[in-house]
Structure 1
């Protein structure tokens, strides 16, 4: 009764290209991201999914819709619990701008301080991780023995990888999170395990999520 998830980060946006923090702001795919979504859809065209879940933010919705239209999978269920981390006052800023305007806060952000909460109502890393872990637990409980597609964001995938690989929240990231790549994990009834990660053979190229995001 293993549950297998294929997790896909949304395609590229103009803000990804500008190294601008998106968080909960609703930014659409750019033309590169649309092409990436189409390529990911083609790579999954013959893969069966019992269910499809996606963040309700536009960049993820567009990616999920491209995949399911090609795949003819079940209708997408959109959930705000699959959103990117809320970066509070950092949202809309480039990483350089955030460091200039909020030097002390940016230092704690870059250090991956689990208890640091962004000014302006953002989430701490601990709060964000708990949200992601709870979503995964619900999917495992609802889809025992099934294969499920999840379209989400770079920050969510950072937490997913750490959970499946047993890495601490505050450890430096030593894995990539490219736009529109395929990431597979499996639940054995007790814990999650990595199956494969950052498969981008179907893509011409993809931007990695920045290490401290």
Structure 2
């Protein structure tokens, strides 16, 4: 796994989940750097209800579509991406397709390894009921032992980290000197952040947030984390995704 050097340029506050960035969007990407803009998909019906999606499908709701439009509008004014990648789940693909249209990219490249964590028998439940209805799976999800798989066919946190980071590394290897956009999920973003930084939390990860990562010489830099400044007029769920507690 690649090592990580956390950039000092943004002010990262993982407990709040919002990064303040002073630099303007780059005019170009250095030849030895792959710049990956990792986007969490727009809000869904199940996000609004507090229902666990995992790898089940849930459609973007009205706010989610507006978030996708706002993301696309922002990114269309920045450095044009060389490619756009997405999870194969529709909430991510729909968000990615909106961005692709505005950025004049002909296709969205689907990467199944970017999909959300499979959380086993927790999928489909509201967060507030899992302690009672699925105690074993709930305990596995919140276990501090990262190799514990969630009952019902779910992944361990280590498995999620391995496939998520590997997917980004593979994408980065194709795009040195270029900017690319990747649309994925809260669980994947959390896994990537915690795996690369070794921090105990990634804080809140908002629907529609932008996260800018650089990979150069096998070292990762976090340039922006959970930036939602483009959603000021649209709004977003303040609770975000926070896999460290039941308050999601």
Same fold, TM-score > 0.5, yes or no: yes
Structure 1 residue ranges without an equivalent (≥5): none
Could you tell me which of 173, 195, 200 is aligned with 2:223?
195
Contact 2:120 2:137 survives alignment (8 Å): no
Report the CA distance shift for 1:79/1:16 in structure 2 as closer, same or farther (over 3 A).
same
Contact 1:40 1:202 survives alignment (8 Å): yes
Structural mapping, 1:144-155, within 5 Å: 144-155=176-187
Contact 1:112 1:125 survives alignment (8 Å): no
SS at match of 2:170: helix
- How many residue pairs get aligned? The number is 209
Name the structure 2 match of 1:119: 151
Structural mapping, 1:102-113, within 5 Å: 102-113=134-145
Name the structure 2 match of 1:77: 109
Cα deviation, residue 75, structure 1: 1.5
| Aligned mates of 2:202, 2:81 — CA distance in 1 | 29
**CA RMSD, Structure 1 to Structure 2 (Å):** 1.5
| Aligned mates of 2:175, 2:241 — CA distance in 1 | 28
Residue 60 of structure 2 is aligned to residue 29 of structure 1: yes
Name the structure 2 match of 1:17: 48
| Aligned mates of 2:106, 2:194 — CA distance in 1 | 28
| Aligned mates of 1:2, 1:16 — CA distance in 2 | 34
| Aligned mates of 1:176, 1:4 — CA distance in 2 | 22
Name the structure 2 match of 1:2: 33
Structure 2 residue ranges without an equivalent (≥5): 1-31
SS at match of 1:114: coil
Which 4+ residue blocks in structure 1 deviate beyond 3 angstroms?
A: none
